[in-house]
Chain A
Amino acid sequence: MIVPSKFVILHRSIFLLLFIALGTIRAAESGFEKKVRPVLETYCFNCHGEKKTKGDVNLSIFPDGASVQQNPKVWLKVLSQLRDGVMPPEGKTQPAPAERERVVQWIEQTFDNLDQVARDPGQKVIHRLNRLEYKNTIRDLLDVKTKAAEKFPADAGGGGGFDNNADTLFIPPLLMERYLSAADEILAQVEPGKIFPIRPGFFLSDRSAARKNLAEFVTRAFRRPALKEDLDPLLGLIEQSRRAGETFDGSLQLAAKAILVSPDFLFRVETRRGGNEPYPLNDYELATRLSYFLWSSMPDGELFKLAAEKKLQQPKIFEAQVRRMLQSSKAQALAENFTGQWLGVRRLEASVQPDPGLFPSYTPSLRAAMQEEPRDFFLSLLRDESSLLKLLDSDFTFANEELGKHYGLTNVIGTEMRRVSLNDANRGGVLGMAGVLTLTSYPQRTSPVLRGRWVLDEVFGTPPPPPPPLVASLPQDDKPREGLTLRQRLETHRSKSECVACHQRMDPLGFGLENFDAIGRWRTKIADAPVDANGVLTTGEKFQGPAELKKILLTRKDLFVRNFTERMLAYALGRGLEFYDRPTVKRITTALAGDDYRSSTLIMEIAKSYPFQFRRDPKTEAKP
């Protein structure tokens, strides 16, 4: 699901202009009059029609699909308001969920098909390195393993739900303090001769030697060629400290400290080029985007060399670099950060807490293995150029002895994670991963609702709307109560009219996973009653247990692939997707469908995509 930031959309009138030349798009024009307008007429026109135009929105002026397409600003606002359940407001008559869904889908499809318009690579604020990027960058810049970044405050997230989202990376005083002390801590671990190898001598003055050292270092640290205006102040700093009696190395170290707390190091800066047209990134900027996407770190020597030679933009060279980078051990960062946040298993550390009394086997080491499993699994898909659909179902996974035992596998020995074959068709894929199953449970019991919701949201990108106020949830253990099992009570609850539509979507998915307990172990009984893992989807398909459920979910592969593509694109760009990214998503999913959904193709297509390769200057916009 694309999560649009509607307020951005609202205030940037520029997009109106982009869409004026639309005209001929096929789209679902006919659907509008029959399927959409009547719903709007019933529920929206009272306030947004001819009589009243609240918020200056009048939806009655759109007679057909074509007129809608020419007004994305208004309609994408409508889309998000409907989808988030904001409109119609509380207290007004609400459309039935199916009606709401119909309108949402129609608008989504309509704007998916906008292909031939002037393009927009999007805009984001300069990107601060997040904790992990900082750590990796220090590793690659100075050959130092640092724990200093663990003292930084946690980075918040946004956009696609990742902590590399530029808009939500702040730089509060607390963090600035830590940057300063981190620089000291890190530089204390560095051999000065190693990062600044050029020594002054008979033919080389102190200043010239310092300048040469700095020029090389600054180019790597700032991820672009060093400029005179970078070097002069640093040389000034060096001279000042030399005068105060500092050694040559000591003064260079001080300069290094200034570099490590400089905004050019801490932010990934892409400089403004002027004008209103989007333009391709320069080679250094592209190398930087690529390395932070695939490695969560700075470019290496090879990328810098290609950038210096202005060769990185050549398609063959670029593709070869993407392939090389994916095979590098540094690509583990992509797998870890992406799966950790997409699946949410990173949260196991702080905010998910299986009850230690009920689940004594949930140890910190098991928890770590649960987090590593999806990382290693996804990394193997990337390395082997395997199909993304294996995320939905697979005959292997990754485990160590402890996680293996957890899964009932007795042939895995030792603490190392490794690839293991699965004979049980129920386990493979993310839905059978213990981390996910734990994350979607309460401390003392499973929650079919949370799990179902999780599948809809994270796997398919189709989250249900929030529950109406005052809904019940069930007792926290799963012992039968009043003669009813947890499942039976849930079904009773579901039968209430305001709940049924969404729960019919969520609950069966969760029921299908009931054979997995609250920390993801296989079970056949719940408090002495046999597990009932039967379910019927709203579309009528019946299944029993995870294996059958997964087979059905695989028939929705397009939805999954689209959602996965959107998440990965948002991660790669470091921003939330906007409506103008829809054609890019479409192009990538089409490419994937034509190439067996190869995971490496997804990465390649994203790296080659328009918003990844281009940028534009921010508009000098009028205040809203």
Chain B
Amino acid sequence: MNKKNWQISRRTMLKGVGAMLGLPLLDAMAPFRALAGSNAAVGKFPVRMAVLYMANGVNPHQWMPTGTGRQFELSPILSPLAKLKDEILVLSELWNAAADTGDGHYVKTGGFLTGTTITRTTGSNLCSGGVSMDQFAARKIGNLTLLPSLELGIEPTNTFVDTNVGFTTLYGGHISWNTPTTPVAKEINPQLAFDRLFRSNSGNPGANAASNQSVLDLVLADASRLQRKVGKADQVKLEEYLESVRAVEKRIEFDAKRKAEEANTDLLVIREIDRLGGRIKDYYADPAKVSERQSNHTEHVRLMLDLMVLAFWSDSTRISSFMFGNAVSAKNFSFLEGVGGSHHELSHHQNDASKLEQYKRINTWHLTQFAYMLEKMKSIREGESTLLDNSMLLLGAGMRDGNAHNPRNLPIVLAGKGGGTLVTGRHLVYEKGTPLCNLYRSMLTRVGAPTEKFADSTGELTGLADAEFSGVRV
């Protein structure tokens, strides 16, 4: 279903560079795709789902909108969404009960999308307790796209053990879990992410699909043979290897299909891909690497968000997760006016007015980047709708107040109309202690991966499609 007809090869792309510059605005042209594809022709576009994770919580005094239902005013932190107010749902009083233990950060990060309690460990018997909701969806519908899911981030996963609390910092670098014991690696380098998405056989132009296939067949047999010689835990590790090889095989198949259909490529998509490729080049060309550590942080984030948008638009994937920062992120935000310090440092505000103000500014910066992404998605037409209309983007944190590390009343925004299944433009206040996993269930249903139960869910979240609903009385 929903097979897309946009395809792109490196050659087409190179051809596109330059030639495409200076075309009219995106939304001024109807996408070429709509004229050709199967389901596309009848205006049915797939629902895309993204999760954007913020480290270190938010300033709790500046997050909550006033008013409920459609009658609400954005809070200072949410103010960057002013022009997008009709595109979002602010969801209050959801919580992740399983994260109300352990430590301040790792439990709230590793378990953010699983709704489970991670195992306290420095490495052995690593376990998140469950599959994350994005990976749950990827298992169901990931076979429809080039990449089953796309994991992006900004900071590399750390290697040290937080001896203070007895956790490996690995937990703080991953929200996506393919199985309870295997976190999914995230790409933090925009160039590599770009190549992976938009260059077939990325990095090995000489290789042909057939020879790759024969190589992979051979190593699959190798691994199966090896499995018989090793112990049980090793067999599990080799199973992981086998699964990854199979994933690569599928990817090669998709690459071949892309090539075959490249004539149908949507020119608008090509143009945008070229532009993004150019911006990534500029980003890396920056000779004074020092600036990479200050204001360029914003550009790094935007490149990753743009990659996600293009991955969705080109239907290279329908599921994505992004981490603005790892747990306990010490990103220096002094590049923002009025901020002098690092993210984690300032999140421990201790109700000091000056620090709360700086913390708020950092939070607001996050929302500004989110708004940037939403604007972009809103400008992309898909038939009569927009890419944003056909998406669901969850922005949130694993704790509310970074000073208190509390997983109650989490800061959560859901943007996009989920293919017409969400009525946006509202602030919904749920009963205290409503499981965050209820929202996950609702999202999974909408993306095409319904489940009866997700972690501690007690049902789907009520009222998401009911324009009159504003939540419980407060």
**Across-interface contacts of A159 in B (CB, < 8 A):** 122-124, 161, 168
Whether a CB of chain A sits under 8 angstroms from the CB of B182 is yes
Whether a CB of chain A sits under 8 angstroms from the CB of B56 is no
**Across-interface contacts of B352 in A (CB, < 8 A):** 472, 475
Whether a CB of chain B sits under 8 angstroms from the CB of A355 is yes
Whether a CB of chain B sits under 8 angstroms from the CB of A457 is yes
Complex CA gap A267/B237 in Å reads 10
| Contact for B196 among A158, A161, A177, CB less than 8 A | A177
Complex CA gap A504/B445 in Å reads 54
Closest to A254 in B: B211
Q: Given A158-B170, A172-B182, A470-B403, are A125 and B158 neighbors across the interface (CB < 8 Å)?
A: no
Whether a CB of chain B sits under 8 angstroms from the CB of A173 is yes
Complex CA gap A181/B216 in Å reads 12
Stretch at the interface among B185-193, B412-420, B429-437: B185-193
Complex CA gap A80/B345 in Å reads 28
Q: Are B166 and A351 within 8 A (Cβ)?
A: no
A433 CB to nearest chain B CB (Å):
17
Q: Are B332 and A151 within 8 A (Cβ)?
A: no
**Across-interface contacts of A254 in B (CB, < 8 A):** 211, 214-215
Q: For window 222-253 of chain B, which residues contact chain A by CB distance below 8 Å?
A: 222-223, 225-226, 229-234, 236-238, 240-241, 243-245, 247-248, 251
Q: Given A167-B123, A261-B215, A341-B159, are A465 and B164 neighbors across the interface (CB < 8 Å)?
A: yes
Q: Given A257-B215, A463-B164, are A444 and B340 neighbors across the interface (CB < 8 Å)?
A: yes
Complex CA gap A617/B235 in Å reads 13
Complex CA gap A85/B121 in Å reads 14
Q: Given A153-B187, A156-B158, are A175 and B125 neighbors across the interface (CB < 8 Å)?
A: no
Q: Given A475-B355, A476-B340, A575-B123, are A258 and B182 neighbors across the interface (CB < 8 Å)?
A: no
Complex CA gap A432/B124 in Å reads 34
Whether a CB of chain A sits under 8 angstroms from the CB of B219 is yes
Complex CA gap A246/B382 in Å reads 46
Q: Are B123 and A176 within 8 A (Cβ)?
A: no
Whether a CB of chain B sits under 8 angstroms from the CB of A26 is no
Q: Are B120 and A86 within 8 A (Cβ)?
A: yes
| Contact for A170 among B120, B204, B240, B340, CB less than 8 A | B240
**Which of A7, A180, A230, A475 is most buried by chain B, counting CB atoms within 10 A of its CB?**
A180
Stretch at the interface among A58-66, A234-242, A398-406, A594-602: A234-242
Task: Scan B346-362; emit 1 where CB is below 8 A from any A CB, else 0.
Answer: 10101010110000000
Complex CA gap A156/B183 in Å reads 10
Q: Are A271 and B204 within 8 A (Cβ)?
A: no
**Across-interface contacts of B203 in A (CB, < 8 A):** 148, 151, 178, 181-182, 184-185
A269 CB to nearest chain B CB (Å):
7
Q: Given A5-B122, A84-B166, are A237 and B241 neighbors across the interface (CB < 8 Å)?
A: no
Q: Given A174-B185, A174-B187, are A475 and B354 neighbors across the interface (CB < 8 Å)?
A: yes
Complex CA gap A233/B225 in Å reads 12
Closest to A230 in B: B222
Complex CA gap A511/B221 in Å reads 60
Inter-chain CB contacts under 8 Å: number: 293
Q: Are A442 and B125 within 8 A (Cβ)?
A: no
Q: Are A240 and B214 within 8 A (Cβ)?
A: yes
B89 CB to nearest chain A CB (Å):
30
Stretch at the interface among B288-296, B311-319, B372-380, B446-454: B288-296
A321 CB to nearest chain B CB (Å):
27
Q: Are B218 and A234 within 8 A (Cβ)?
A: yes
Q: Are A185 and B204 within 8 A (Cβ)?
A: yes
Prevailing SS type, chain A contact patch: loop
Task: Scan A148-172; emit 1 where CB is below 8 A from any B CB, else 0.
Answer: 1001011111111111010110111
Q: Are B247 and A364 within 8 A (Cβ)?
A: no
Task: Scan B402-415; emit 1 where CB is below 8 A from any A CB, else 0.
Answer: 01110000000000
Interface size on A (CB < 8 Å)? 103
Complex CA gap A583/B170 in Å reads 29
Closest to A461 in B: B163
Q: Given A153-B186, A163-B159, A233-B221, are A443 and B124 neighbors across the interface (CB < 8 Å)?
A: no
Complex CA gap A431/B91 in Å reads 48
Q: Are A171 and B244 within 8 A (Cβ)?
A: yes
B144 CB to nearest chain A CB (Å):
16
Whether a CB of chain B sits under 8 angstroms from the CB of A352 is yes
Task: Scan A90-129; emit 1 where CB is below 8 A from any B CB, else 0.
Answer: 0000000000000000000000000000000001111010
Whether a CB of chain A sits under 8 angstroms from the CB of B25 is no
Q: Given A157-B159, A157-B161, A469-B104, are A443 and B234 neighbors across the interface (CB < 8 Å)?
A: no
**Across-interface contacts of A534 in B (CB, < 8 A):** none
Complex CA gap A171/B244 in Å reads 7
| Contact for A355 among B166, B183, B340, CB less than 8 A | B340
Whether a CB of chain B sits under 8 angstroms from the CB of A344 is yes
Complex CA gap A158/B125 in Å reads 11
Q: Are B330 and A352 within 8 A (Cβ)?
A: yes
**Across-interface contacts of B229 in A (CB, < 8 A):** 269, 271-272
Complex CA gap A154/B172 in Å reads 14
A182 CB to nearest chain B CB (Å):
8
Q: Are A356 and B170 within 8 A (Cβ)?
A: no
Q: Are A237 and B215 within 8 A (Cβ)?
A: yes
Q: Are B120 and A353 within 8 A (Cβ)?
A: no
**Across-interface contacts of B186 in A (CB, < 8 A):** 153
Q: For window 346-385 of chain A, which residues contact chain B by CB distance below 8 Å?
A: 346-347, 350-357, 363-364
Whether a CB of chain B sits under 8 angstroms from the CB of A529 is no
Whether a CB of chain A sits under 8 angstroms from the CB of B103 is yes
Whether a CB of chain B sits under 8 angstroms from the CB of A262 is yes
Q: Given A240-B214, A263-B222, A466-B165, are A154 and B156 neighbors across the interface (CB < 8 Å)?
A: yes
| Contact for B348 among A172, A354, A471, CB less than 8 A | A471
Q: Given A158-B170, A159-B123, A161-B159, are A470 and B204 neighbors across the interface (CB < 8 Å)?
A: no
Whether a CB of chain A sits under 8 angstroms from the CB of B10 is no
Whether a CB of chain B sits under 8 angstroms from the CB of A620 is yes
Q: Are B214 and A241 within 8 A (Cβ)?
A: yes
Q: Are A172 and B214 within 8 A (Cβ)?
A: no
Whether a CB of chain B sits under 8 angstroms from the CB of A622 is no
Complex CA gap A162/B161 in Å reads 8
Closest to B204 in A: A184
Q: For window 49-90 of chain B, which residues contact chain A by CB distance below 8 Å?
A: none
B180 CB to nearest chain A CB (Å):
13
Task: Scan A227-256; emit 1 where CB is below 8 A from any B CB, else 0.
Answer: 001100110110011000000000000100
**Across-interface contacts of B346 in A (CB, < 8 A):** 476
Q: List 7 A-B contacts (CB under 8 A).
A: A3-B122, A176-B245, A180-B212, A267-B238, A269-B229, A344-B160, A469-B104
Given A5-B121, A476-B345, A620-B232; 13 other pairs, CB 8 A cutoff: A5-B125, A125-B236, A171-B237, A174-B185, A175-B244, A177-B202, A178-B203, A258-B218, A353-B332, A355-B332, A443-B330, A475-B354, A477-B340
Closest 6 CB pairs of A and B: A158-B123, A157-B159, A476-B341, A184-B204, A353-B332, A181-B203
